[in-house]
Structure 1
Amino acid sequence: MEKEKNPAMIGSLQIGLGIVDIIASQEHPMKFTEIQEKSNITKSNLYKYLNTLTHLELLYRDKQHGTYTLGSKIISYGMAAIGQQDLVTKVTPFLQEISRFTSLTALLAVWTHSGPVIANIWSANNGLNIGAQIGTHLPILSSSGKVFAAFHEPLLIEEWKNTEMQNWSVEDKQLFEEETKGIKKRQISFAKEPLVPYISSASVPLFNYNNDLLGCLTLVGFSPLVPQTSEDEYGQYLLNTSKEVSGIFGYK
């Protein structure tokens, strides 16, 4: 991780952001020893960097487990960069209510140039491993991914779809296209265990006044508890919440 000194650059800043890069590249919270192993920074110096980055809210330290993840400031920067900060702010109270009502995890996914990512999560069970965290890219076969495949502007998702489907058979592609037609009709999608065994999800789209897709709300939890049809109680609840949130952005 050590870089050659450059009079036009600040080495300590490079190292600090390098630590952030290491943590961002992992799909799980990292312990101090893991970060040190990947960064090759001495314990005393790494402690100072982590303490500073945590103080600046670029990283978050879970005091109970002693692990590090990306901090709220990084998330704010990311949302500002993709123009979604207002969406996150307005949707967060609904995530809290969804999680409270269902006792499951609720998340907001938004589009980026490389596919859908999780912009915010609200969990009723902090110990539940859903296989993802804020900033995680979601595959096309996740319920969130299916929403973007069904409703987002085709030109914007063409490259992403081609990459995700590159090893699919013709039959698999045909079945997926049929499924997306049903999602467009019902305005809700489902996925059984797309990331972690026994963990499934259901998603609904969020639209603006111009009927453009803003993002999607997703409910995640143990498979037997997650709705699998639009007629389920939680399925209806998600659909009603989708209409309410979309209404805030002028959708009719």
Structure 2
Amino acid sequence: MEGIKKGTTIQSLEIGMSIVDLIAKQGKPLKFSDIQDLTKITKSNLYKYLNTLTQLEILYRDKDSGAYVLGSKLIEYGMIAADQENAVERIAPYLQEINEKSLNTVLYSVWTQNGPMIVREFKTNQGQGYNIGAQIGTFLPLLSATGKVFATFMDEHIIREWKEKELKQASPEKAKHLDEEYKSIREKEISFAREPLVSSVSSVSFPVFDYKKDVLGAVTIVGFSELIPHHEEEELSKYLINISKEISRTFGYK
């Protein structure tokens, strides 16, 4: 991930979040005077920050004591984040099964503002399979099997900027071919990428849907090209298509 350049951030937002962080770390309700003593922010500016954060429900101000605590919006965000973590844990046994079946590295990726990011990895025991290194936290490109899954099923307005950036690095021929691939991926719900990043290394991926058919993430097998299927009629592909439906059913997808 690229470092953030100096002068490209909003200082007032940083100050606002520092107030939230302060209240969170104190572990107890703080009155206006407490916050002012700890932050040294002028009273007039601090009123504005606290009023704004309270209006956004990021903070809550008790009417009787006047003390501030974390608000309902942060609780909501926390629950969403926890649900994402629970989703990873829920499908972990399936990822382990796929790993044992394929004898190749299995990845689980979720969408972020910077594109698909690896959040879980399963490898075979040393000497029993073919492991390809993949670091958790790595962002995967559009031309990868994972990238194609998200490009196919995510809402266009969410991924537009990412796609435009990625397509600038692809040849017109590859970009044209992608449009054809999206149609096939949407129909068959499986994606293939032959050596998109490294010579001799290929990948196959499928989406994980929830009950609204929103994409929760993508499961990907990556390995040496001769061991990774390249079309849906291969035995391993058929297995992946079946287990993908089973995984999505656990989240209410029909």
Equivalent residue in structure 2 for 1:245, among 243, 247, 254: 247
Which residues of 2 match residues 43-122 of structure 1 at below 5 A?
81=81, 84-122=84-122
Equivalent residue letter for 1:124: T
CA contact (8 A) 2:105 2:131 kept: no
Which residues of 2 match residues 169-248 of structure 1 at below 5 A?
169-248=171-250
Equivalent residue letter for 1:120: R
Equivalent residue letter for 2:121: I
Q: How has the CA–CA distance of structure 1 residues 201 and 171 changed in structure 2, closer, same or farther, with 3 Å as cutoff? A: closer
In structure 2, the residue matched to 1:59 is none
SS in 2 for 1:84: helix
CA contact (8 A) 2:204 2:230 kept: yes
Equivalent residue letter for 2:103: S
User: Residue 205 of structure 1: CA displacement?
Assistant: 0.8
Query: In 2, Cα distance between the equivalents of 1:168 and 1:106?
Result: 26
Q: How has the CA–CA distance of structure 1 residues 196 and 174 changed in structure 2, closer, same or farther, with 3 Å as cutoff? A: closer
In structure 1, the residue matched to 2:53 is none
- Cα deviation, 1:59-87, whole Å, max 9, x if unaligned, reads xxxxxxxxxxxxxxxxxxxx975852011
- Cα deviation, 1:14-68, whole Å, max 9, x if unaligned, reads xxxxxxxxxxxxxxxxxxxxxxxxxxxxxxxxxxxxxxxxxxxxxxxxxxxxxxx
TM-score, normalising length: structure 2: 0.64
Query: In 2, Cα distance between the equivalents of 1:126 and 1:181?
Result: 38
**Structure 1 vs Structure 2: percent identity of aligned residues?**
49
State how many pairs are aligned.
175
User: Residue 115 of structure 1: CA displacement?
Assistant: 0.4
CA contact (8 A) 1:192 1:223 kept: yes
Query: In 1, Cα distance between the equivalents of 2:143 and 2:133?
Result: 14
CA contact (8 A) 1:227 1:235 kept: yes
Q: How has the CA–CA distance of structure 1 residues 129 and 103 changed in structure 2, closer, same or farther, with 3 Å as cutoff? A: closer
In structure 1, the residue matched to 2:30 is none
Unaligned runs of 5+ in 1: 1-78
Q: State the Cα RMSD in Å.
A: 2.2
Query: In 1, Cα distance between the equivalents of 2:158 and 2:93?
Result: 29
Equivalent residue in structure 1 for 2:152, among 137, 150, 158: 150
SS in 1 for 2:236: helix
User: Residue 142 of structure 1: CA displacement?
Assistant: 0.5
CA contact (8 A) 1:104 1:125 kept: no
- Cα deviation, 1:142-199, whole Å, max 9, x if unaligned, reads 0000000111111110010011012444443222111111111111111112222211
Query: In 2, Cα distance between the equivalents of 1:197 and 1:80?
Result: 38
Equivalent residue letter for 1:199: V
